[in-house]
Structure 1
Amino acid sequence: MPEQPEDRTGDRLGSRRPTSHERSSGRPWDASYQDGPAPWDTGRPQPAVVRTAAEGGFTGAVLDAGCGTGENALHIAAEGQRVLGFDIAATALETARAKAADRGIEAEFVTADAFELAGLDRTFDTVLDCGLFHTFDRDERMAYVSSLASVTEPGAVLYVLCFSDEGADLGPHPVSPEDLNDAFSPSVGWNIASVEPERIETRFHDHGAPAWWARVDRVRAADNAT
Structure 2
Amino acid sequence: MSGSVTPPERPLVHVYDAAYAGVPNWDIGRPQRAFVRLLDAGLVRSPVLDVGCGTGELSLLLARQGYDVLGVDLSPLAIRQATEKARWRRISAQFLVWDALDLSRFRAAGLSFQTVVDSAMFHVLGDHERDLFVAGLGDVVRPGGLYCVLGDARAGEGEIYGLTPDELRTRFENAGGWEVAFEFRTVFERRWSSNPAYFVGVQRQ
Normalising by structure 2, what TM-score? 0.89
The counterpart of 1:39, out of the listed 25, 44, 52, is: 25
Contact 1:53 1:79 in 2 (8 A): no
For 1:180, give the aligned amino acid.
Answer: L
Per the alignment, residue 153 of structure 1 pairs with 142
Per the alignment, residue 222 of structure 1 pairs with none
Distance 1:166 1:48 in 2: 20
Per the alignment, residue 8 of structure 2 pairs with 12
For 2:148, give the aligned amino acid.
Answer: Y
The counterpart of 1:196, out of the listed 184, 200, 204, is: 184
1:140 aligns with 2:129: yes
1:31-180 matched pairs, under 5 angstroms = 31-34=18-21, 36-120=22-106, 121=109, 122-165=111-154, 173-180=161-168
Distance 1:30 1:149 in 2: 29
Distance 2:147 2:132 in 1: 16
Distance 1:194 1:60 in 2: 19
Greater gyration radius: 1
Distance 2:89 2:102 in 1: 30
For 1:54, give the aligned amino acid.
Answer: D
Which structure is richer in relative contact order (CA contacts within 8 A, separation 6 or more)? 2
- Deviation at 1:140? 0.7
Distance 1:100 1:142 in 2: 32
Q: 1:27 to 1:93 in 2, by over 3 A?
A: closer
Q: Paired residues, what number?
A: 196
The two structures, once aligned, show a CA RMSD in angstroms of 2.0
Q: Which moved more, 1:115-124 or 1:127-136?
A: 115-124
Q: Where does the alignment leave 5 or more consecutive residues of structure 2 unmatched?
A: none
Q: Where does the alignment leave 5 or more consecutive residues of structure 1 unmatched?
A: 220-226
- Deviation at 1:132? 0.5
For residues 10-55 of structure 1, what are the alpha-carbon distances to aligned partners after superposition, in whole Å with 9 as ceiling and x for unaligned? x333xx4x4xxx4xxx962222111x11121011111111111122
